[in-house]
Amino acid sequence: MHKRKLIDERFWTKVDKNGPRMRPELTPCWLWTGAKTRAKKGRHGMLYSERIEKPNTKSGYSDITLPAHRVSWEIHYGPIPEETQVLHKCDNGLCVNPEHLELGNQKKNMQDCIARGRGNKSRAPRKRVKRTDAIWMQQNKPHYTCEQLASMFSISLTTVDNIVNKRGSYVRLEERAKEAITPPSPTAV
């Protein structure tokens, strides 16, 4: 259980409402000024929620963080149903403007990848996807649509579909790569 009131208060200290206007029809983005995921691609804001004890680690604790845009959704609209993504209409991962957020069904979104790819005339070139990138996509798919992943990594929707739905050469990547990727951790800004 998160300390709801505290989270709300801290959320508002890390919001800059004078962000860029990504498209003419949209209001300005609200930029997250707090901690962000370390990943170079598809970064999003993070809010610390609580610290838990983790005996077998160097520091002895681990900080639990919440994606800032999901916190924004819950503050403005209420709880997010299970297996539901909060997507950015503005394609700006660091934006927490509730007007720019919308819910998406993660499973359906990913299953629809191929169907939508067929209607998409522009084709990204065939390209080898690095195993670390593929694992990153499998781990982070709850936060993105397949279109966003395709453009972030400059690959086709078909390739995204194969990766996120673990087909062909993208089966059991994590098990095969013992050097599993460390989860995104906060960076001070």
Q: Which residue from 43, 16, 20 is spatially nearest to 32, judged by alpha carbons?
A: 16
Q: Which stretch binds Zn ion (CB under 5 A): 21-29, 77-85, 105-113, 166-174?
A: 21-29
72 binding Zn ion? (CB under 5 A) = no
The one-letter code for the residue type at 34 is G
86 binding Zn ion? (CB under 5 A) = no
14 binding Zn ion? (CB under 5 A) = no
What six digits make up the tokens of 44?
């999003």
Q: How far is the CB of 25 from Zn ion (least distance, A)?
A: 12
87 binding Zn ion? (CB under 5 A) = no
Q: Quick one: which of 15, 46, 47, 90 contacts Zn ion (CB under 5 A)?
A: 90
103 Rama sector, left if φ>0, alpha if ψ -120 to 50, beta otherwise:
beta
15 binding Zn ion? (CB under 5 A) = no
Q: Which residue from 72, 66, 64, 65 is spatially nearest to 19, judged by alpha carbons?
A: 72
Q: Which stretch binds Zn ion (CB under 5 A): 61-69, 90-98, 127-135, 154-162?
A: 90-98
**In this complex, which beta carbon is closest to Zn ion, that of residue 22 or of residue 39?**
22
Q: How far is the CB of 73 from Zn ion (least distance, A)?
A: 13
Q: Which stretch binds Zn ion (CB under 5 A): 27-35, 78-86, 160-168, 177-185?
A: 27-35
**In this complex, which beta carbon is closest to Zn ion, that of residue 45 or of residue 117?**
45
29 binding Zn ion? (CB under 5 A) = yes
Q: Which residue from 64, 76, 63 is spatially nearest to 30, judged by alpha carbons?
A: 76
What six digits make up the tokens of 121?
């005339």
Residue 36's contacts (CB-CB under 8 Å, 6 or more residues apart) are 43, 44, 45, 46, 94, 186, 187, 189
Q: Quick one: which of 37, 97, 106, 156 contacts Zn ion (CB under 5 A)?
A: 97
Sign of CA dihedral 105, 144, 70, 93: negative
Residue 156's contacts (CB-CB under 8 Å, 6 or more residues apart) are 117, 123, 124, 126, 150
92 binding Zn ion? (CB under 5 A) = yes
Kindly list the residues in this chain that would bind Zn ion in the complex (CB under 5 A): 29, 90, 92, 95, 97, 100
